[in-house]
Amino acid sequence: MNTLIKNVIIVTMKEGDTPFHGDIHLAGDTIQQIGPALDVDADEVWDGQGMAVMPGLINAHQHTPMSLLRGFSDDLKLMDWLERKMLPAEANMTPEDIYWGAKLSMAEMIKSGTTAFADMYIHMDEIAAAVDEVGMRASLSRGMVFLQDDGGQRLTEALGLIERWNGKADGRITTMLAPHAPYTCPPEPLKRIVRLAEEMRLPIHIHLAETIEEVMSIREKYNETPAEYLYNIGLFDKAHVLLAHGVHMTRGDIGLLRGMRGGVAHNPVSNLKLGCGIAPVADMMKQNIVVGLGTDGAGSAATVDMFEEIKAAAWLQKLDYGDPTMLPAGQALRMATRDSAKLLNIDREVGTLEAGKRADLILVDMNKPHLQPVHQIESLLAYSANGADVDTTIVNGQVLMRHRQLATIDEDEMLRQAAIRAKRIVAGI
Annotated ligand binding at 266? The verdict is no
Q: Are 336 and 371 within one domain? A: no
Enter the pTM of the model: 0.98
Predicted local confidence at residue 267, as pLDDT? 98
In a domain, 420, yes or no: no
Predicted local confidence at residue 84, as pLDDT? 92
Q: Are 31 and 178 within one domain? A: no
Contacts of 42 (CB under 8 A, 6+ apart): 2, 3, 4, 25
- Residue 24 pairs in a beta bridge with 5, 34
In a domain, 353, yes or no: no
Q: Are 16 and 113 within one domain? A: no
Cα–Cα distance list, 113 to 107, 297, 346, 387 (Å): 10, 17, 18, 6
Percentages (nearest 5) of helix, strand, coil residues in the chain: 40, 25, 35
In a domain, 25, yes or no: yes
CATH number of the domain residue 29 falls in? 2.30.40.10
Q: Are 79 and 25 within one domain? A: no
Predicted local confidence at residue 69, as pLDDT? 96
Annotated ligand binding at 296? The verdict is yes
First to last CA, the chain: 48
Q: Are 11 and 66 within one domain? A: no
Q: Are 109 and 229 within one domain? A: yes
Annotated ligand binding at 245? The verdict is no
Domain boundary among 312, 344, 376: 344
Interatomic CA distance for residues 205 and 190, integer angstroms: 12
Annotated ligand binding at 154? The verdict is yes
Q: Are 50 and 64 within one domain? A: no
Task: Spell out the alpha helix ranges (H) of 201-297.
Answer: 212-222, 226-233, 251-257, 268-273, 281-286
Which H or E element spans position 406? strand 405-406
DSSP 238: S
In a domain, 419, yes or no: no
Q: Are 41 and 94 within one domain? A: no
Predicted local confidence at residue 118, as pLDDT? 98
For the CA atoms of the chain, what is the radius of gyration? 21
Residues listed for the chain: 429
Predicted local confidence at residue 82, as pLDDT? 84
Q: Are 74 and 192 within one domain? A: yes
What is the pLDDT tens value at each position of the chain, 429 positions in all? 799 999 999 999 999 999 999 999 999 999 999 999 999 999 999 999 999 999 999 999 999 999 999 999 899 887 888 889 999 999 999 999 999 999 999 999 999 999 999 999 999 999 999 999 999 999 999 999 998 888 789 999 999 999 999 999 999 999 999 999 999 999 999 999 999 999 999 999 999 999 999 999 999 999 999 999 999 999 999 999 999 999 999 999 999 999 999 999 999 999 999 999 999 999 999 999 999 999 999 999 999 999 999 999 999 999 999 999 999 999 999 999 999 999 999 999 999 999 999 999 999 999 999 999 999 999 999 999 999 999 999 999 999 999 999 999 999 999 999 999 999 999 999
- DSSP 3-state of 203: coil
Annotated ligand binding at 90? The verdict is yes
| Domain count for the chain | 2
Predicted local confidence at residue 205, as pLDDT? 98
Interatomic CA distance for residues 425 and 419, integer angstroms: 10
Annotated ligand binding at 17? The verdict is no
Q: Are 143 and 207 within one domain? A: yes
Interatomic CA distance for residues 320 and 332, integer angstroms: 15
In a domain, 398, yes or no: yes
Note down the domain range covering 317. Answer: 57-344
Annotated ligand binding at 354? The verdict is no
